[in-house]
A and B are shown apart, each in its own frame.
Chain A
Amino acid sequence: MTGQMALPSARSSQSIVSLRGVGKTFDSGTVALAGLDLDVRAGEFVSLLGPSGCGKSTALRVIAGLSDASAGKVAWPDGGKRLGFVFQEPTLMPWARVAANVALPLRLARADAAAARAAALASLGRVGLADFAGAFPRELSGGMKMRASIARALVTEPDLLLMDEPFAALDEITRFKLNNDLLTLWQQLKRTVIFVTHSVFESVYLSQRILVMSPRPGRVVAEIDIPASYPRDERFRTSAEYAGYCREVSEALGAAMAERAA
Protein backbone atom coordinates (compact mmCIF):
# COMPACT_ATOMS: atom_id res chain seq x y z
CA MET A 1 0.00 0.00 0.00
CA THR A 2 0.94 3.61 0.06
CA GLY A 3 4.05 4.47 1.97
CA GLN A 4 5.69 3.25 5.08
CA MET A 5 3.95 3.20 8.43
CA ALA A 6 5.70 5.98 10.22
CA LEU A 7 4.76 4.82 13.66
CA PRO A 8 3.73 2.39 16.12
CA SER A 9 3.05 -0.32 13.72
CA ALA A 10 2.54 -2.84 16.43
CA ARG A 11 0.67 -5.11 14.11
CA SER A 12 2.66 -8.15 15.05
CA SER A 13 2.61 -7.66 18.80
CA GLN A 14 -0.01 -9.38 20.89
CA SER A 15 -3.37 -8.08 22.00
CA ILE A 16 -3.54 -5.58 24.84
CA VAL A 17 -7.20 -6.50 25.30
CA SER A 18 -9.42 -9.05 23.67
CA LEU A 19 -13.17 -9.55 23.88
CA ARG A 20 -14.71 -12.96 23.14
CA GLY A 21 -18.43 -13.47 22.74
CA VAL A 22 -19.20 -10.47 24.89
CA GLY A 23 -22.89 -9.80 25.44
CA LYS A 24 -24.65 -7.11 27.42
CA THR A 25 -28.33 -7.18 28.27
CA PHE A 26 -29.67 -4.28 30.32
CA ASP A 27 -32.19 -4.71 33.13
CA SER A 28 -34.80 -3.23 30.81
CA GLY A 29 -34.32 -6.25 28.54
CA THR A 30 -32.54 -4.31 25.81
CA VAL A 31 -29.81 -6.42 24.23
CA ALA A 32 -27.01 -3.93 23.61
CA LEU A 33 -24.25 -6.38 22.68
CA ALA A 34 -24.24 -10.02 21.66
CA GLY A 35 -21.37 -12.16 20.48
CA LEU A 36 -18.94 -9.26 20.29
CA ASP A 37 -15.38 -10.32 19.39
CA LEU A 38 -12.56 -7.86 19.12
CA ASP A 39 -8.84 -7.63 19.64
CA VAL A 40 -6.80 -4.51 20.08
CA ARG A 41 -3.04 -4.68 19.76
CA ALA A 42 -0.58 -2.62 21.73
CA GLY A 43 0.18 0.75 20.18
CA GLU A 44 -2.68 0.54 17.73
CA PHE A 45 -5.26 3.23 16.84
CA VAL A 46 -8.58 1.43 16.37
CA SER A 47 -11.99 2.94 15.74
CA LEU A 48 -15.32 1.40 16.61
CA LEU A 49 -17.68 2.71 13.96
CA GLY A 50 -21.41 2.27 13.90
CA PRO A 51 -24.77 4.04 13.85
CA SER A 52 -26.07 5.45 17.12
CA GLY A 53 -27.58 2.78 19.32
CA CYS A 54 -25.30 0.02 18.01
CA GLY A 55 -23.72 -0.51 21.43
CA LYS A 56 -20.30 0.94 20.64
CA SER A 57 -20.32 3.11 23.77
CA THR A 58 -21.47 0.12 25.79
CA ALA A 59 -18.58 -1.92 24.39
CA LEU A 60 -16.17 0.82 25.49
CA ARG A 61 -17.68 0.90 28.99
CA VAL A 62 -17.37 -2.87 29.25
CA ILE A 63 -13.69 -2.62 28.31
CA ALA A 64 -13.25 0.15 30.91
CA GLY A 65 -14.90 -1.99 33.57
CA LEU A 66 -17.63 0.62 34.04
CA SER A 67 -20.22 -1.90 32.92
CA ASP A 68 -20.19 -5.66 33.48
CA ALA A 69 -20.60 -7.97 30.50
CA SER A 70 -23.59 -10.29 30.85
CA ALA A 71 -21.86 -12.92 28.71
CA GLY A 72 -18.43 -13.64 27.29
CA LYS A 73 -15.01 -12.61 28.44
CA VAL A 74 -12.80 -9.55 28.48
CA ALA A 75 -9.18 -10.67 28.67
CA TRP A 76 -6.02 -8.65 29.28
CA PRO A 77 -3.23 -10.95 28.05
CA ASP A 78 -0.43 -8.82 29.55
CA GLY A 79 -2.32 -8.24 32.78
CA GLY A 80 -4.45 -5.28 33.76
CA LYS A 81 -3.68 -2.00 32.13
CA ARG A 82 -3.87 1.60 33.19
CA LEU A 83 -6.82 3.18 31.42
CA GLY A 84 -7.73 6.67 30.39
CA PHE A 85 -11.30 7.49 29.42
CA VAL A 86 -12.57 10.47 27.48
CA PHE A 87 -16.33 10.87 27.60
CA GLN A 88 -18.63 12.33 24.99
CA GLU A 89 -18.92 15.45 27.14
CA PRO A 90 -15.87 17.05 28.75
CA THR A 91 -17.11 15.86 32.18
CA LEU A 92 -15.08 18.39 34.15
CA MET A 93 -15.90 19.36 37.73
CA PRO A 94 -17.23 22.93 37.36
CA TRP A 95 -16.14 23.91 40.88
CA ALA A 96 -12.48 23.01 40.34
CA ARG A 97 -9.90 24.86 38.29
CA VAL A 98 -8.61 23.18 35.14
CA ALA A 99 -5.35 22.07 36.79
CA ALA A 100 -7.24 20.49 39.69
CA ASN A 101 -9.54 18.71 37.24
CA VAL A 102 -6.57 17.30 35.36
CA ALA A 103 -4.79 16.31 38.59
CA LEU A 104 -7.88 14.46 39.85
CA PRO A 105 -6.91 10.91 38.78
CA LEU A 106 -3.59 11.27 40.60
CA ARG A 107 -5.22 12.78 43.68
CA LEU A 108 -7.68 9.89 43.76
CA ALA A 109 -4.67 7.55 43.72
CA ARG A 110 -3.50 9.54 46.77
CA ALA A 111 -0.57 11.16 44.99
CA ASP A 112 1.06 14.06 46.78
CA ALA A 113 -0.61 17.38 45.88
CA ALA A 114 2.51 19.07 44.51
CA ALA A 115 3.50 16.06 42.38
CA ALA A 116 -0.05 15.73 41.04
CA ARG A 117 -0.11 19.40 40.16
CA ALA A 118 3.21 19.21 38.35
CA ALA A 119 2.00 16.22 36.33
CA ALA A 120 -1.27 18.01 35.57
CA LEU A 121 0.59 21.07 34.28
CA ALA A 122 2.79 18.88 32.09
CA SER A 123 -0.26 17.09 30.73
CA LEU A 124 -1.98 20.43 30.04
CA GLY A 125 1.12 21.54 28.19
CA ARG A 126 0.89 18.52 25.89
CA VAL A 127 -2.63 19.46 24.79
CA GLY A 128 -1.75 23.14 24.42
CA LEU A 129 -3.61 24.40 27.49
CA ALA A 130 -0.64 25.39 29.65
CA ASP A 131 -1.95 28.96 29.97
CA PHE A 132 -5.36 27.88 31.25
CA ALA A 133 -4.37 25.84 34.31
CA GLY A 134 -5.91 28.41 36.65
CA ALA A 135 -9.15 28.89 34.71
CA PHE A 136 -12.49 27.42 35.65
CA PRO A 137 -14.04 25.03 33.10
CA ARG A 138 -16.85 27.45 32.29
CA GLU A 139 -14.30 29.95 31.06
CA LEU A 140 -13.10 27.55 28.34
CA SER A 141 -14.53 26.98 24.85
CA GLY A 142 -15.98 23.59 23.92
CA GLY A 143 -12.77 22.52 22.18
CA MET A 144 -10.61 23.63 25.10
CA LYS A 145 -12.79 21.75 27.57
CA MET A 146 -12.30 18.62 25.49
CA ARG A 147 -8.54 19.22 25.47
CA ALA A 148 -8.62 19.48 29.27
CA SER A 149 -10.56 16.23 29.37
CA ILE A 150 -7.90 14.56 27.20
CA ALA A 151 -5.15 15.99 29.40
CA ARG A 152 -6.87 14.44 32.41
CA ALA A 153 -7.10 11.06 30.67
CA LEU A 154 -3.38 11.21 29.82
CA VAL A 155 -2.15 12.38 33.23
CA THR A 156 -1.85 8.83 34.58
CA GLU A 157 0.23 7.82 31.52
CA PRO A 158 -2.36 5.19 30.58
CA ASP A 159 -1.52 2.19 28.40
CA LEU A 160 -4.91 2.30 26.75
CA LEU A 161 -6.90 5.42 25.96
CA LEU A 162 -10.64 4.90 25.49
CA MET A 163 -12.47 7.71 23.70
CA ASP A 164 -16.26 7.79 23.42
CA GLU A 165 -17.23 10.09 20.53
CA PRO A 166 -15.17 12.84 22.14
CA PHE A 167 -15.47 15.35 19.31
CA ALA A 168 -19.06 14.70 18.24
CA ALA A 169 -20.38 17.91 19.79
CA LEU A 170 -17.69 20.18 18.32
CA ASP A 171 -17.81 22.26 15.16
CA GLU A 172 -15.94 20.94 12.13
CA ILE A 173 -13.01 23.35 12.30
CA THR A 174 -12.35 22.53 15.95
CA ARG A 175 -12.87 18.82 15.30
CA PHE A 176 -10.30 18.75 12.48
CA LYS A 177 -7.81 20.57 14.69
CA LEU A 178 -8.37 18.17 17.57
CA ASN A 179 -8.13 15.18 15.17
CA ASN A 180 -4.70 16.39 14.09
CA ASP A 181 -3.55 17.09 17.63
CA LEU A 182 -4.78 13.69 18.80
CA LEU A 183 -2.80 11.95 16.06
CA THR A 184 0.30 13.94 16.96
CA LEU A 185 -0.10 12.98 20.63
CA TRP A 186 -0.65 9.35 19.70
CA GLN A 187 2.55 9.31 17.65
CA GLN A 188 4.53 11.00 20.40
CA LEU A 189 3.21 9.00 23.31
CA LYS A 190 2.85 5.62 21.59
CA ARG A 191 -0.35 4.74 23.44
CA THR A 192 -3.07 2.38 22.31
CA VAL A 193 -6.30 4.16 21.42
CA ILE A 194 -9.82 2.81 21.00
CA PHE A 195 -11.89 5.56 19.45
CA VAL A 196 -15.66 5.32 19.21
CA THR A 197 -17.31 7.40 16.50
CA HIS A 198 -20.30 7.46 14.19
CA SER A 199 -18.40 9.42 11.56
CA VAL A 200 -16.97 7.44 8.63
CA PHE A 201 -14.72 10.36 7.73
CA GLU A 202 -13.33 10.77 11.22
CA SER A 203 -12.66 7.05 11.62
CA VAL A 204 -10.81 6.82 8.29
CA TYR A 205 -8.76 9.93 9.02
CA LEU A 206 -7.62 8.73 12.43
CA SER A 207 -7.39 4.96 12.47
CA GLN A 208 -5.12 2.17 11.41
CA ARG A 209 -8.05 -0.19 11.65
CA ILE A 210 -11.80 0.27 11.73
CA LEU A 211 -14.21 -2.18 13.31
CA VAL A 212 -17.68 -1.68 11.87
CA MET A 213 -20.47 -2.52 14.28
CA SER A 214 -24.02 -3.54 13.50
CA PRO A 215 -26.90 -2.54 15.78
CA ARG A 216 -29.25 -4.62 17.99
CA PRO A 217 -27.56 -6.63 19.05
CA GLY A 218 -24.25 -4.82 18.71
CA ARG A 219 -21.38 -6.82 17.30
CA VAL A 220 -18.44 -6.35 14.94
CA VAL A 221 -19.47 -7.21 11.39
CA ALA A 222 -16.56 -5.87 9.35
CA GLU A 223 -12.93 -5.00 9.84
CA ILE A 224 -11.16 -2.61 7.51
CA ASP A 225 -7.48 -1.69 7.54
CA ILE A 226 -6.50 1.85 6.65
CA PRO A 227 -2.85 1.38 5.76
CA ALA A 228 -2.18 5.02 4.83
CA SER A 229 0.97 6.35 6.41
CA TYR A 230 1.23 8.77 9.30
CA PRO A 231 1.58 11.65 9.87
CA ARG A 232 -1.73 12.33 8.19
CA ASP A 233 -2.68 15.90 7.46
CA GLU A 234 -5.03 18.07 5.43
CA ARG A 235 -3.51 16.73 2.22
CA PHE A 236 -4.56 13.23 3.22
CA ARG A 237 -8.01 14.51 4.09
CA THR A 238 -8.51 15.75 0.54
CA SER A 239 -6.74 12.92 -1.29
CA ALA A 240 -8.32 10.38 -3.62
CA GLU A 241 -6.86 7.67 -1.42
CA TYR A 242 -8.82 9.02 1.59
CA ALA A 243 -12.00 9.27 -0.50
CA GLY A 244 -11.50 5.66 -1.61
CA TYR A 245 -11.23 4.41 1.97
CA CYS A 246 -14.26 6.45 2.96
CA ARG A 247 -16.28 4.83 0.18
CA GLU A 248 -15.16 1.37 1.25
CA VAL A 249 -16.02 2.01 4.90
CA SER A 250 -19.36 3.64 4.00
CA GLU A 251 -20.29 0.58 2.00
CA ALA A 252 -19.39 -1.71 4.90
CA LEU A 253 -21.46 0.45 7.24
CA GLY A 254 -24.36 0.44 4.79
CA ALA A 255 -24.19 -3.35 4.57
CA ALA A 256 -24.11 -3.59 8.39
CA MET A 257 -27.27 -1.52 8.64
CA ALA A 258 -29.02 -3.34 5.79
CA GLU A 259 -28.30 -6.62 7.55
CA ARG A 260 -30.29 -5.39 10.47
CA ALA A 261 -33.20 -4.22 8.33
CA ALA A 262 -33.35 -7.59 6.60
Chain B
Amino acid sequence: MTERAIRIGLPLTVLAIVVALWGAVVRLNDIPPYVLPSPGLVAATLFADGPLLLHSLWVTLVTTFEGFALAAVGGIGLAVLFSQSRLVEISLYPYAVILQVTPVVAIAPLLLIYLPQPLAVLACAWIVAFFPVLANTTLGLNSVEHNLLALFELYKASRWQVLWRLKLPAALPQMLTGLRIAGGLSLIGAVVAEIAAGSAGAGSGLAYRIAESGYRLNIPRMFAALLLLSLAGIVIFFALSAVSYLVLRRWHESAIARER
Protein backbone atom coordinates (compact mmCIF):
# COMPACT_ATOMS: atom_id res chain seq x y z
CA MET B 1 0.00 0.00 0.00
CA THR B 2 1.30 3.41 -0.82
CA GLU B 3 1.90 6.11 1.76
CA ARG B 4 -1.00 8.09 0.29
CA ALA B 5 -3.44 5.20 0.49
CA ILE B 6 -2.52 4.65 4.13
CA ARG B 7 -2.94 8.32 4.93
CA ILE B 8 -6.45 8.38 3.50
CA GLY B 9 -7.48 4.79 4.17
CA LEU B 10 -6.63 4.48 7.86
CA PRO B 11 -8.60 7.50 9.14
CA LEU B 12 -11.56 6.43 6.98
CA THR B 13 -11.42 2.95 8.47
CA VAL B 14 -11.42 4.43 11.97
CA LEU B 15 -14.43 6.56 10.98
CA ALA B 16 -16.31 3.54 9.66
CA ILE B 17 -15.63 1.58 12.85
CA VAL B 18 -16.76 4.44 15.11
CA VAL B 19 -19.95 5.01 13.11
CA ALA B 20 -20.72 1.27 13.14
CA LEU B 21 -20.16 1.10 16.91
CA TRP B 22 -22.33 4.18 17.41
CA GLY B 23 -25.13 2.60 15.37
CA ALA B 24 -24.80 -0.69 17.26
CA VAL B 25 -24.88 0.99 20.67
CA VAL B 26 -28.04 2.94 19.74
CA ARG B 27 -29.76 -0.15 18.33
CA LEU B 28 -28.78 -2.64 21.05
CA ASN B 29 -29.68 -0.32 23.93
CA ASP B 30 -32.76 1.05 22.25
CA ILE B 31 -31.67 4.62 22.91
CA PRO B 32 -34.38 7.12 21.93
CA PRO B 33 -33.43 9.63 19.21
CA TYR B 34 -33.89 12.65 21.52
CA VAL B 35 -31.02 11.29 23.62
CA LEU B 36 -28.74 9.91 20.92
CA PRO B 37 -29.91 9.54 17.32
CA SER B 38 -28.47 6.75 15.17
CA PRO B 39 -26.06 7.64 12.35
CA GLY B 40 -28.76 6.68 9.87
CA LEU B 41 -31.21 9.13 11.39
CA VAL B 42 -28.62 11.91 11.36
CA ALA B 43 -28.01 11.25 7.66
CA ALA B 44 -31.76 11.21 6.99
CA THR B 45 -32.20 14.48 8.88
CA LEU B 46 -29.32 16.01 6.97
CA PHE B 47 -31.12 15.10 3.77
CA ALA B 48 -34.63 16.09 4.91
CA ASP B 49 -33.53 19.41 6.44
CA GLY B 50 -31.05 19.97 3.64
CA PRO B 51 -32.38 23.27 2.24
CA LEU B 52 -32.75 24.82 5.68
CA LEU B 53 -29.34 23.67 6.89
CA LEU B 54 -27.56 24.60 3.68
CA HIS B 55 -29.00 28.08 3.87
CA SER B 56 -27.76 28.35 7.46
CA LEU B 57 -24.36 26.98 6.44
CA TRP B 58 -24.16 29.65 3.77
CA VAL B 59 -24.94 32.39 6.31
CA THR B 60 -22.22 31.14 8.68
CA LEU B 61 -19.69 30.70 5.87
CA VAL B 62 -20.25 34.24 4.61
CA THR B 63 -19.57 35.57 8.11
CA THR B 64 -16.52 33.32 8.38
CA PHE B 65 -15.08 34.48 5.07
CA GLU B 66 -15.72 38.12 5.83
CA GLY B 67 -14.11 37.73 9.25
CA PHE B 68 -11.20 35.88 7.70
CA ALA B 69 -10.69 38.49 4.98
CA LEU B 70 -10.78 41.32 7.52
CA ALA B 71 -8.40 39.39 9.78
CA ALA B 72 -6.00 38.80 6.91
CA VAL B 73 -6.02 42.42 5.78
CA GLY B 74 -5.95 43.76 9.34
CA GLY B 75 -3.33 41.31 10.62
CA ILE B 76 -0.94 41.69 7.69
CA GLY B 77 -1.53 45.44 7.49
CA LEU B 78 -0.87 45.95 11.18
CA ALA B 79 2.21 43.72 11.08
CA VAL B 80 3.62 45.75 8.18
CA LEU B 81 2.83 48.97 10.05
CA PHE B 82 4.58 47.61 13.15
CA SER B 83 7.63 46.66 11.12
CA GLN B 84 7.83 50.21 9.75
CA SER B 85 7.35 52.08 12.99
CA ARG B 86 8.59 50.89 16.33
CA LEU B 87 6.54 53.59 18.11
CA VAL B 88 3.29 52.34 16.60
CA GLU B 89 4.22 48.79 17.54
CA ILE B 90 4.98 49.72 21.15
CA SER B 91 1.75 51.71 21.42
CA LEU B 92 -0.62 49.16 19.92
CA TYR B 93 0.80 45.68 20.44
CA PRO B 94 -0.36 45.31 24.08
CA TYR B 95 -3.96 45.95 23.00
CA ALA B 96 -3.72 43.37 20.26
CA VAL B 97 -2.61 40.90 22.92
CA ILE B 98 -5.42 41.93 25.29
CA LEU B 99 -7.96 41.47 22.51
CA GLN B 100 -6.56 38.00 21.95
CA VAL B 101 -6.34 36.76 25.55
CA THR B 102 -9.84 37.92 26.53
CA PRO B 103 -12.12 34.94 25.74
CA VAL B 104 -14.35 35.80 22.81
CA VAL B 105 -17.28 34.02 24.47
CA ALA B 106 -17.15 36.70 27.13
CA ILE B 107 -16.92 39.59 24.65
CA ALA B 108 -19.69 38.39 22.35
CA PRO B 109 -22.67 39.32 24.58
CA LEU B 110 -21.29 42.84 24.96
CA LEU B 111 -20.77 43.24 21.25
CA LEU B 112 -24.34 42.08 20.68
CA ILE B 113 -25.55 44.93 22.85
CA TYR B 114 -23.64 47.64 21.02
CA LEU B 115 -23.64 46.38 17.43
CA PRO B 116 -26.37 45.12 15.13
CA GLN B 117 -26.27 41.35 15.21
CA PRO B 118 -24.62 40.57 11.84
CA LEU B 119 -21.92 43.11 12.59
CA ALA B 120 -21.37 41.73 16.10
CA VAL B 121 -20.95 38.21 14.73
CA LEU B 122 -18.49 39.49 12.16
CA ALA B 123 -16.56 41.39 14.85
CA CYS B 124 -16.21 38.20 16.89
CA ALA B 125 -14.92 36.26 13.89
CA TRP B 126 -12.41 39.03 13.25
CA ILE B 127 -11.22 39.35 16.87
CA VAL B 128 -10.28 35.68 17.22
CA ALA B 129 -8.80 35.36 13.74
CA PHE B 130 -6.70 38.46 13.36
CA PHE B 131 -4.16 37.89 16.13
CA PRO B 132 -2.50 34.75 14.72
CA VAL B 133 -2.08 36.58 11.41
CA LEU B 134 -0.56 39.59 13.16
CA ALA B 135 1.73 37.56 15.43
CA ASN B 136 2.99 35.20 12.74
CA THR B 137 3.46 37.90 10.11
CA THR B 138 5.35 40.06 12.64
CA LEU B 139 7.60 37.10 13.43
CA GLY B 140 8.21 36.55 9.71
CA LEU B 141 8.95 40.21 8.98
CA ASN B 142 11.43 40.32 11.86
CA SER B 143 13.29 37.13 11.00
CA VAL B 144 14.78 38.25 7.69
CA GLU B 145 18.38 37.06 7.33
CA HIS B 146 20.65 39.88 8.52
CA ASN B 147 23.05 39.55 5.63
CA LEU B 148 20.21 39.99 3.14
CA LEU B 149 19.26 43.20 4.94
CA ALA B 150 22.92 44.28 4.71
CA LEU B 151 22.89 43.47 1.00
CA PHE B 152 19.82 45.65 0.42
CA GLU B 153 21.48 48.41 2.44
CA LEU B 154 24.66 48.11 0.39
CA TYR B 155 22.66 48.70 -2.80
CA LYS B 156 20.82 51.60 -1.18
CA ALA B 157 17.38 50.01 -1.36
CA SER B 158 14.47 52.20 -0.31
CA ARG B 159 12.22 51.25 2.62
CA TRP B 160 9.59 50.26 0.14
CA GLN B 161 11.99 48.01 -1.79
CA VAL B 162 13.14 46.35 1.43
CA LEU B 163 9.52 45.71 2.38
CA TRP B 164 8.29 44.57 -1.00
CA ARG B 165 11.29 42.65 -2.30
CA LEU B 166 12.69 41.29 0.94
CA LYS B 167 10.57 41.38 4.07
CA LEU B 168 7.20 40.37 2.66
CA PRO B 169 8.49 37.40 0.63
CA ALA B 170 10.67 36.31 3.56
CA ALA B 171 7.64 36.47 5.85
CA LEU B 172 5.40 34.44 3.51
CA PRO B 173 5.83 31.06 5.27
CA GLN B 174 4.91 32.48 8.69
CA MET B 175 2.17 34.66 7.18
CA LEU B 176 0.58 31.59 5.58
CA THR B 177 0.79 29.70 8.87
CA GLY B 178 -1.05 32.57 10.53
CA LEU B 179 -3.70 32.56 7.81
CA ARG B 180 -4.18 28.80 8.14
CA ILE B 181 -4.83 29.17 11.86
CA ALA B 182 -7.05 32.20 11.22
CA GLY B 183 -9.26 30.24 8.81
CA GLY B 184 -10.32 27.79 11.50
CA LEU B 185 -10.55 30.48 14.16
CA SER B 186 -12.82 32.76 12.16
CA LEU B 187 -15.28 29.88 11.88
CA ILE B 188 -15.05 29.40 15.64
CA GLY B 189 -15.55 33.14 16.22
CA ALA B 190 -18.62 33.19 13.99
CA VAL B 191 -20.10 30.16 15.75
CA VAL B 192 -19.43 31.53 19.23
CA ALA B 193 -21.13 34.81 18.38
CA GLU B 194 -24.11 33.06 16.79
CA ILE B 195 -24.55 30.88 19.86
CA ALA B 196 -24.33 33.94 22.10
CA ALA B 197 -26.85 35.69 19.88
CA GLY B 198 -28.98 32.56 19.77
CA SER B 199 -30.95 33.52 22.83
CA ALA B 200 -31.65 36.91 21.26
CA GLY B 201 -33.09 34.89 18.45
CA ALA B 202 -32.57 36.91 15.28
CA GLY B 203 -29.91 34.79 13.57
CA SER B 204 -30.12 32.15 10.91
CA GLY B 205 -26.59 30.68 10.87
CA LEU B 206 -25.74 27.06 11.54
CA ALA B 207 -24.74 27.67 15.15
CA TYR B 208 -28.07 29.40 15.66
CA ARG B 209 -29.75 26.27 14.27
CA ILE B 210 -27.83 24.17 16.79
CA ALA B 211 -28.94 26.37 19.70
CA GLU B 212 -32.50 26.45 18.45
CA SER B 213 -32.65 22.66 17.90
CA GLY B 214 -31.30 22.22 21.43
CA TYR B 215 -34.23 24.15 22.89
CA ARG B 216 -36.64 22.04 20.85
CA LEU B 217 -34.89 18.75 21.72
CA ASN B 218 -34.43 18.19 17.99
CA ILE B 219 -31.21 16.25 18.63
CA PRO B 220 -30.88 14.69 15.13
CA ARG B 221 -30.84 18.15 13.60
CA MET B 222 -28.23 19.27 16.13
CA PHE B 223 -26.02 16.43 14.98
CA ALA B 224 -26.66 17.18 11.33
CA ALA B 225 -25.76 20.85 11.80
CA LEU B 226 -22.68 19.92 13.80
CA LEU B 227 -21.59 17.59 11.02
CA LEU B 228 -21.90 20.39 8.47
CA LEU B 229 -19.89 22.74 10.67
CA SER B 230 -17.06 20.20 10.99
CA LEU B 231 -17.07 19.62 7.28
CA ALA B 232 -16.86 23.37 6.67
CA GLY B 233 -13.90 23.60 9.08
CA ILE B 234 -12.13 20.71 7.36
CA VAL B 235 -12.65 22.22 3.91
CA ILE B 236 -11.34 25.60 5.10
CA PHE B 237 -8.26 23.99 6.63
CA PHE B 238 -7.42 21.96 3.54
CA ALA B 239 -8.08 24.85 1.17
CA LEU B 240 -5.68 27.11 3.09
CA SER B 241 -3.09 24.33 3.37
CA ALA B 242 -3.30 23.87 -0.39
CA VAL B 243 -2.77 27.59 -0.98
CA SER B 244 0.21 27.54 1.38
CA TYR B 245 1.69 24.54 -0.42
CA LEU B 246 1.21 26.09 -3.86
CA VAL B 247 2.92 29.32 -2.82
CA LEU B 248 5.87 27.69 -1.04
CA ARG B 249 6.44 24.48 -2.95
CA ARG B 250 9.31 25.75 -5.08
CA TRP B 251 11.49 27.16 -2.35
CA HIS B 252 10.51 26.60 1.25
CA GLU B 253 11.71 23.56 3.15
CA SER B 254 8.31 23.07 4.77
CA ALA B 255 6.68 22.39 1.41
CA ILE B 256 9.38 20.19 -0.08
CA ALA B 257 9.35 16.44 0.40
CA ARG B 258 12.61 15.14 1.81
CA GLU B 259 14.51 12.87 -0.53
CA ARG B 260 15.94 9.77 1.09
Q: Kindly state whether residue A89 has any CB partner on chain B within 8 Å.
A: yes
Interface residue count on the A side (C-beta < 8 Å) = 23
CB distance from A110 to the nearest CB of B (A): 9
Q: Kindly state whether residue B251 has any CB partner on chain A within 8 Å.
A: yes
Within 8 A of A (CB), among B219-260: 250-253, 256
How many inter-chain contacts with C-beta < 8 Å in the A-B complex?
52
Assess the A108–B153 pair: CB atoms within 8 A.
no
Within 8 A of A (CB), among B170-224: 170, 172
Assess the A93–B152 pair: CB atoms within 8 A.
no
CB closest residue in chain B, given A107: B165
Assess the A89–B252 pair: CB atoms within 8 A.
no
Within 8 A of B (CB), among A58-75: 61, 64-66
Once bound together, how far apart are the Cα atoms of A107 and B199, in whole Å? 59
Assess the A95–B169 pair: CB atoms within 8 A.
yes
Chain A residues within 8 Å of B166, by CB: 93
Within 8 A of B (CB), among A71-95: 83, 85, 87-89, 91, 93-95
Chain B residues within 8 Å of A61, by CB: 150
CB closest residue in chain B, given A87: B147
Once bound together, how far apart are the Cα atoms of A83 and B195, in whole Å? 63
Chain A residues within 8 Å of B169, by CB: 93, 95-96
In the complex where A66-B154, A108-B161 touch, is A138 in contact with B251 (Cβ < 8 A)?
yes
Q: Kindly state whether residue A136 has any CB partner on chain B within 8 Å.
A: yes
Q: Kindly state whether residue A109 has any CB partner on chain B within 8 Å.
A: yes
Q: Kindly state whether residue A104 has any CB partner on chain B within 8 Å.
A: yes
Assess the B154–A65 pair: CB atoms within 8 A.
yes
> Would you list the 7 A-B pairs with minimal beta carbon distance, nearest first?
A91-B147, A108-B155, A94-B251, A87-B147, A108-B157, A95-B169, A105-B155
Interface, chain B (partner A; CB < 8 A) = 145, 147-148, 150-157, 161, 165-166, 169-170, 172, 250-253, 256
